[in-house]
């Protein structure tokens, strides 16, 4: 990638982060209501810290850090770099203020652009910057999901000007048949991908039929009304304990008001649109629903093989695959090596992308991953015939 | 109290709350780092809600509430009034914003002043307003202690312009001897007091000698250096578990840097002033220190009887008395009855006042109370010879 | 006390411990279902350890310990003596077996009797042995309450031959008036008492009227049926959270079966006897009940002054007094000093004794103490007119 | 399988359970020190309940249950059958006694043998009985691991006569090369298997080289000594938190005494045998070790394909595969359907068998599964070259 393209990308992507936050009140940037949900302020700082730590510190001549303690405050999890703030206590840090965090972003941007304009970029450095931009795009989606969580759990159910550009596609459901055989899996195009998509390899698949559409709210309401959340035989053992312990009886953000299902979105609390794809369900709920329908989720390989024939982009789709390394996967050395590999246990793969995913940040080989109980992402369900 | 005096008091006290907060960043108003520490924003709203709920709603003709959900959001614990926000989750409420809370305060003030100017105040109503003002003054001290906790736990140790007008008094220590005999306890003057100070009653005291001064930082450092935190025989059983579980080895806000004890104050992290009274210790620490010195804390009755001969006002002083009702104590009926009585279990009485106590909000009969583990108040130690 | 009397007492009291356990199955000796409830096996060993540690080791010539690790296993809380088993994990120790523990008791008894027969007892040593016997008697009551907890929480509700010799007395209720005045408090007789009863001192009491009888099951059922457990204004703040969190709606061991209240006793699950004194209530419940009756609990001083006019012995009676040191109280030095003093925080005093208290182990100056939430002791309610 | 063979198997397997327990003290049968570890008494009863619930109740004419409440007490997790004892509280049930549990076993055996002798067995019923026997064999291994946990955490480190018949094999290490290709996976022989092994299917494997031997204690000690437990880059993110939170610095049962590694076995605490295969490691530890060696674990498919060329039987071997349904897997209907399927989330597959596995209870297609943190099973490590 040439310098000019990289500069343009850098500017566009960094600006998009700001546009996501433009309607936030200062207060909205602060809290961390659950461990998974980071303060928006933290996302803004952490993505800048990534450029400061991995690009500016090693490559910008005599780089002077914006603030010596920000590394400690905004390192997310790169344990090889040293001590960092207790992950669950990010929401108590009122300082630096939002304004100071924006100054930090500005400072990093200025230096990055100076660097990008002056430097003969090595391929390695260009790749690292590209990684930083994809990292920022990942946090853009997290910004949206975390803001939604913060506002959607406020009893005032505030609305916010935050336009999600993509809409739920509408299509008739059909089942697409894929033949048995050996298929090649993994990133094949040119351009950027994460290390967890690499190492093309062959898998053998039995024949299967995959739905062209996602499960709708209407279908999910039927599941609820037919007692889905009280039929123990539909649930995994740990799932059953989880939903009973947390009194879960519907997707996140759903509220039954005067016998009508409502859902919180950035427009506030609204009656549910029945034709939309169901959203904010856990893997537990996705598999219980599939079990109830006597179907199943696709494996990530089945999903990837069929991807060209599917419409996708509305919801991250839970797959039946655990998040594990591909054959031949190796971690990068150093802190960058912590990017993906260390999460490859106890989580499930999601494929596709969602209405909150940043533009140009989707690939059919993309492997997203969350714990099976996670509900605050824009997650949905696609079925495969057993 | 006549109307004009009450109006003046109302204006002065409400304005003082704002002056405490004047240097805060918007972000500082939001978090609740531990259950005890409420968001400053919440204090501002809750004290206004008190006037709205108990004065304006019942007494202002056709009063229109500022917002129908604020009762739910800012009721602290008056359970008889209905559902309220989970106490531990106040810090996640980014809305209403700080600006909206100030609008709420302004709205309540306008209506209160209209009411105060127009109304023939009944004695009962005047007393209720006076209670609201003393309630606000209690929250003024909590505002200061809570702001200190929020900033004092930030790794940046930010300083804040928040002047505490009172200083630590300096005096030579002597022991004041009080003779054995029957003494009368409880509020005796004119003017306001809380219900827990009422019901004058007689107690019999054996002779005792009480220190004229509080324990200093210098003395407390000696306690630390002589192994006080590791000598199990000095501590209550539950205290020992508590300090070991939480790795407590010094008062709150103390940090040993390059072998010098520093302490966080609103001026930032500073070397400790040895002659100041030790501050931010729990009842557990206060009694362990007394045990180490082979002395003891005063009971709240000994304290009150000696009060006129003591200088006080620097620290809330832990007493050896549990917080229990005085003989003849009865709770007011209705929600106001929840003010004090329901806390009369498992807590200890503190007497005096502190450098963070609001002006005119101290009485020698005043009974403050906290759980024995509490450290975030401006608490200190006064000794009595065994 | 002369040697022969002490020998007789030693034999009688130690034998009584065995008689309490005589109908237990081996399995009943093992578990610790909650932290408060120790394994019966542990009580048997711990009371023997007391004699081994404080009498035999220092005073028996060339004493050879029964097992070098038993000190570690059966020290309860004497932290000055060294490391000891995590208090909450006593129930996982299947070894030593019950038989081995009885061998340990036998070994200690043999040596103690040798010592008692040979030795010219110093007064100090006699007092220490007497303390050990009173310690054993305290654990006899705990054995009964702990066995009851273990069996009473088994879905089979097994009965056990364990005769409690005392019965609930029956008497007509009257209120006994005590005049205002100064009264002397504390142990005054000859003979044994614990250090926490010492230091006679004067208290001033206002006039009061105290019930001659305890609150009955019939009265308590009325409290339940009139919604006592759902009327927030009757409860302390921490009590309300506690009963709601633990779904407490009746005293411990009560079960409503086919609309009839049953209670577990050593005879199994039986319909409640309405005239019996209510039992197994917490301080929280006792005060809520008193509040509902618009009366109150007695202070421990009011109780002691009236004691000669009361029938007592059926239930430990919650008082309105926190467990705090008497004026002039000092702890014994060394490990024995841990006996009482270190528990003087956060607990409430109970006076009287119960149907499970060992014979000759009751005094009107006796100060029992438990946390306000405790329900597994034989605790009841006596009212005083406000 | 004909009736006589089944009768013989029934008698042999049921008797083997008793032989495992023959040296236990009564007390050893009672506790549940952690949720994973059930009381031996419970295993004895639960395996009998299985036959009573699924065979005798539906198939024995006019069967009279041994005790009406045992279903409630000894149902493990078959939620479709109804309410059952809180899983974490099994250790508090002192009744039924051990003797009563053995009577229960005897009663069930008598009726089972009557049934087996009289009945024309349908194939379906024979299969259900066979399932019950394999279920019992699974619990035989759990009995051993749970007894080891109970005794191995007792500070007395008691030894027990419990002979594990199999020994660690000794062999020189070599790497066995397997060629790339499509392979058939799943149970192929005649005879019994669990439903999770069924549904033969094809997988494609890249070429790999698998170690003929397991990782030894000597190798693992090197890992420890070279700082393996403190090198964050070797560990999964959740693993790192886990080992730091629980202070894990060696396999379970390891103790460093006078600088020599000891390990608890049924012979008591003994110096470690360096050539033995390392045992009682979690999946976290297994992957960190592999990472340190720059190798990896085998997938369960790689393991199964190579199985005929491996010696195995000493340790359950953690694989790199999550426990997920095979293509085409369907659960049996009814409670038996809960046997395997509902655990297919968040756990890892182990292959092989261990020195505690019952004779004849191993197959190369056998899929064992545990959470990645589990350490109380006889688990070890086999490496594959990356």
Over residues D20-27, mean pLDDT: 98
Residue B199's pLDDT is 85
Among B31, B154, B158, select the one facing A30 at the smallest CB separation.
B31
Cβ of C95 and D158 within 8 Å? yes
Residue B79 scores a pLDDT above 70? no
Residue C119 scores a pLDDT above 90? no
Residue A367's pLDDT is 97
Q: What is the mean pLDDT of chain B?
A: 93
Which residue does chain A place closest to D235, by CA atoms? Answer: A342
Tell me which H or E stretch contains B317. strand B316-322
Query: Exposure of A217 by Cβ count < 10 A (0-12 exposed, 13-18 middle, 19+ buried)?
Result: buried
How many CB pairs lie under 8 A apart between chains C and D?
A: 89
Cβ of A372 and D345 within 8 Å? yes
Q: Mind telling me how many Å the CA of A278 is from chain B's nearest CA?
A: 26
Which residue does chain B place closest to C298, by CA atoms? Answer: B327
A311 — pLDDT class (breaks 50, 70, 90)? confident
- Chains D and B touching, counted as 3 or more CB pairs less than 8 Å apart: no
Residue B168 scores a pLDDT above 90? no
Residue A129 scores a pLDDT above 80? yes
At A260-296, the pLDDT tens digits run 999 999 999 999 999 999 999 999 999 999 999 999 9
Tell me the pairing of strands D295-297 and D383-385.
antiparallel
High-pLDDT (> 90) share of chain D, %: 84
Joined together, the tokens standing for residue A191 give 């351009």
At A10-20, the pLDDT tens digits run 999 999 999 99
CB B369 within 8 A of CB B323: yes
Joined together, the tokens standing for residue B21 give 């907060």
Show residues of chain A in contact with B41, CB under 8 Å. Answer: 27
Residue A79's pLDDT is 56
Joined together, the tokens standing for residue D78 give 């078959």
Report the predicted TM-score, pTM, of the whole model to 2 decimal places.
0.96
Residue B89 scores a pLDDT above 90? no
E strand map for chain D:
175-178, 181-185, 201-205, 208-211, 254-257, 260-265, 268-271, 295-297, 316-322, 348-352, 368-370, 379-380, 383-385
Q: Distance between CA B131 and CA B332 in Å, rounded?
A: 13
Maximal CA-CA distance, chain C: 66
Q: What is the mean pLDDT of chain D?
A: 93
Over residues D274-283, mean pLDDT: 97
At B124-158, the pLDDT tens digits run 899 999 999 999 999 999 999 999 999 999 999 99
At C128-175, the pLDDT tens digits run 999 999 999 999 999 999 999 999 999 999 999 997 866 677 778 999
Residue D331's pLDDT is 76
Which residue does chain D place closest to C160, by CA atoms? Answer: D95
Residue A124, CB-side half-sphere exposure with 13 Å CA sphere: 6
Q: Distance between CA D83 and CA D164 in Å, rounded?
A: 36
Residue D377's pLDDT is 98
High-pLDDT (> 70) share of chain D, %: 95
A77 — pLDDT class (breaks 50, 70, 90)? low
Cβ of B92 and A153 within 8 Å? yes
Q: Which chains touch A (3 or more CB pairs under 8 A)?
A: B, D
Residue D28's pLDDT is 98
CB D382 within 8 A of CB D320: no
At D309-333, the pLDDT tens digits run 998 989 999 999 999 999 989 877 7
Among C21, C39, C92, C376, which would you mutate to test the D interface (most chain D Cβ atoms within 10 Å of its Cβ)? C92
Joined together, the tokens standing for residue B178 give 């009080």
Among C23, C27, C67, which would you mutate to test the D interface (most chain D Cβ atoms within 10 Å of its Cβ)? C27
| Least-confidence region, from A218-222, B245-249, D119-123 | D119-123
Query: Exposure of C118 by Cβ count < 10 A (0-12 exposed, 13-18 middle, 19+ buried)?
Result: exposed
| Least-confidence region, from A57-66, A163-172, B54-63, B301-310 | A163-172
* DSSP code, position B22: T
At D208-253, the pLDDT tens digits run 999 999 999 999 999 999 999 999 999 999 999 999 999 999 999 9
Which residue does chain C place closest to B344, by CA atoms? Answer: C236
Q: Distance between CA B350 and CA B375 in Å, rounded?
A: 12
CB A250 within 8 A of CB A222: no
Show residues of chain C in contact with B239, CB under 8 Å. Answer: 345
Residue D301 scores a pLDDT above 60? yes
Residue C206's pLDDT is 96
Residue B84 scores a pLDDT above 60? no
Residue A55's pLDDT is 96
Residue B44's pLDDT is 98
* DSSP code, position A270: E
D170 — pLDDT class (breaks 50, 70, 90)? confident
Which residue, C159, C158, C151, is CA-closest to C31? Answer: C151
At C328-338, the pLDDT tens digits run 898 777 667 76
Task: Specify which of A67-76, D96-105, D164-173, D358-367 reaches the highest per-range mean pLDDT.
Answer: D96-105
Residue D80 scores a pLDDT above 60? no
At C204-243, the pLDDT tens digits run 999 999 999 999 999 999 999 999 999 999 999 999 999 9
At D56-65, the pLDDT tens digits run 999 999 999 9
| A77 touches D: beta carbon within 8 Å | yes
CB proximity list for D7: less than 8 A, separation 6 or greater: D113, D116, D117
The CA-atom distances, in angstroms, between D300 and each of A302, A325, B253, D177, D367 are 20, 14, 54, 16, 8
Which residue, B294, D59, A125, is CA-closest to C329? Answer: B294
| B352 touches A: beta carbon within 8 Å | no
| B30 touches A: beta carbon within 8 Å | yes
| Least-confidence region, from A189-193, B337-341, C361-365 | B337-341
Cβ of A30 and B27 within 8 Å? yes
B322 — pLDDT class (breaks 50, 70, 90)? very high
| Least-confidence region, from A29-38, C175-184, D64-73 | D64-73
Residue C310's pLDDT is 94
Show residues of chain C in contact with B79, CB under 8 Å. Answer: 232-233, 240
Cβ of C94 and D30 within 8 Å? yes
């Amino acid at each position: 990638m040439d310098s000019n393209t990289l500069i343009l990308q850098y500017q566009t992507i960094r600006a998009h982060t700001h546009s996501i936050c433009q309607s936030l009140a200062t207060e909205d940037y602060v809290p961390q209501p659950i461990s998974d949900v980071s303060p928006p302020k933290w996302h803004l700082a952490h993505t800048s810290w990534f450029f400061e730590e991995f690009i500016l510190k090693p490559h910008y001549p005599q780089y002077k850090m914006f603030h010596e303690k920000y590394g400690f405050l905004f390192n997310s999890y790169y344990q090889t770099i040293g001590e960092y703030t207790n992950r669950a206590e990010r929401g108590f840090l009122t300082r630096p203020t939002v304004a100071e965090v924006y100054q930090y972003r500005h400072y990093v941007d200025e230096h990055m652009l100076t660097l990008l304009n002056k430097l003969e970029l090595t391929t390695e450095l260009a790749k690292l910057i590209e990684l930083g931009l994809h990292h920022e795009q990942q946090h853009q989606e997290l910004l949206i999901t975390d803001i939604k969580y913060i506002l959607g759990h406020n009893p005032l159910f505030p609305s916010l000007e935050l336009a999600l550009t993509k809409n739920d596609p509408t299509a008739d459901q059909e089942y697409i048949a894929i033949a048995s055989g050996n298929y090649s899996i993994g990133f094949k195009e040119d351009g950027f991908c994460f290390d967890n998509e690499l190492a093309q390899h062959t898998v053998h698949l039995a024949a299967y039929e995959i739905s062209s559409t996602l499960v709708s709210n209407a279908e999910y309401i039927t599941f609820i009304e037919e007692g889905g959340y009280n039929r123990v035989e539909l649930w995994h053992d740990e799932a059953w304990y989880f939903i009973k312990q947390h009194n879960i009886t519907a997707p996140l953000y759903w509220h039954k008001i005067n016998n009508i299902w409502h859902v919180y979105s950035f427009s506030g609390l609204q009656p549910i649109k029945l034709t939309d794809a169901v959203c904010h369900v856990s893997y537990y709920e996705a598999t219980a629903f599939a079990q109830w329908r006597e179907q199943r989720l696709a494996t990530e390989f089945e999903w990837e093989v069929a991807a060209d024939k599917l419409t996708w982009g509305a919801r991250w789709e839970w797959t039946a695959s655990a998040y594990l390394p591909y054959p031949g996967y190796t971690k990068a050395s150093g802190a960058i090596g912590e990017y993906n590999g260390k999460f490859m246990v106890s989580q499930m793969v999601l494929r596709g992308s969602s209405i909150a995913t940043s533009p140009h940040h989707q690939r059919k080989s993309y492997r997203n991953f969350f714990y099976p109980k996670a509900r605050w992402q824009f997650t949905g369900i696609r079925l495969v015939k057993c």
